[in-house]
Amino acid sequence: MNIRRGDKVQVIAGSHKSEESREVVAVLDGGKKLRVQGVNKVFKHVRRGHPKSPQGGRLELELPIDASNVQLFCDACGQGRRIGVRYLEDGSKERFCKKCEAGLGQVSPAKAKYAKS
């Protein structure tokens, strides 16, 4: 999956399914799991003396979700969309929205063998 940390995504499945976009905090398991801001929050109860919470209590955590439950958010369309990868004229690779063909950011730098002459 071509989703990176800092990308805007839309959750399309599960209890956090919504129309608003959220930011990816971390990419885990080689892109199979994502930690998304404000999604899949749980409470972990900790005892006193724990390094993160010396007085004890409840820690609020965001657990990872499967990458198949999100779509990359296209600013041009205003929704989560399927994405593709294409080579540009100079040989660099970029992600694009399959619906409106808008570019969504560069994936790799220009390579001479992929440049169109």
Q: Given CATH 2.30.30.30, say whether it is the number of domain 8-114.
A: yes
Query: What whole-number percentage of the chain has pLDDT above 70?
Result: 98
SS percent in the chain: helix, strand, coil, step 5: 10, 45, 45
Q: What pLDDT digit, counting tens, does each position of 10-25 carry?
A: 999 988 888 788 999 9
What φ, ψ does residue 69 adopt, rounded to 5°?
Answer: -95, 5
This prediction has a pTM of 0.78
Q: Hey, where are the domains in the chain? A: 8-114
CB 56 within 8 A of CB 50: yes
CB 40 within 8 A of CB 65: yes
pLDDT at 32: 92
pLDDT, tens digit (0-9, with 9 covering 90-100), for 38-73: 999 999 998 888 787 788 888 899 999 999 999 999
